[in-house]
Structure 1
């Protein structure tokens, strides 16, 4: 399905998360988006697992990515 107006089209969630962690660090990311997986023993793997199961949290991460890098 073509999504010409979707700036996240073709961007992997893992890439989004890694770019945000590199930019902000876990501590600041956990302050910006208050979800446990960013504040308690954070890792890319555990955060991806949570974000894939939790649409509202994923939306917040995607929005922060857009606000930060676009």
Structure 2
């Protein structure tokens, strides 16, 4: 059993972003759009922990690569 103030040494396999952090990372996207995508079962993969919505960063990156347009190497 893990005592208070200690941890098992295990780490999560994902880093997570909140919906607000996702919209800060992806210009032009809104929290409302993310909510609509979740309702329609579209958009990037997410996890729901209680009432909290979290987006695994690695899966978000993958989703952007699969659904983005344009050349990511092209400088503006």
Q: Normalised by the size of structure 1, how large is the TM-score? A: 0.31
- Higher strand content, 1 or 2: 2
Q: Normalised by the size of structure 2, how large is the TM-score? A: 0.30
- Higher helix content, 1 or 2: 1
Whose radius of gyration is greater, 1 or 2? 2
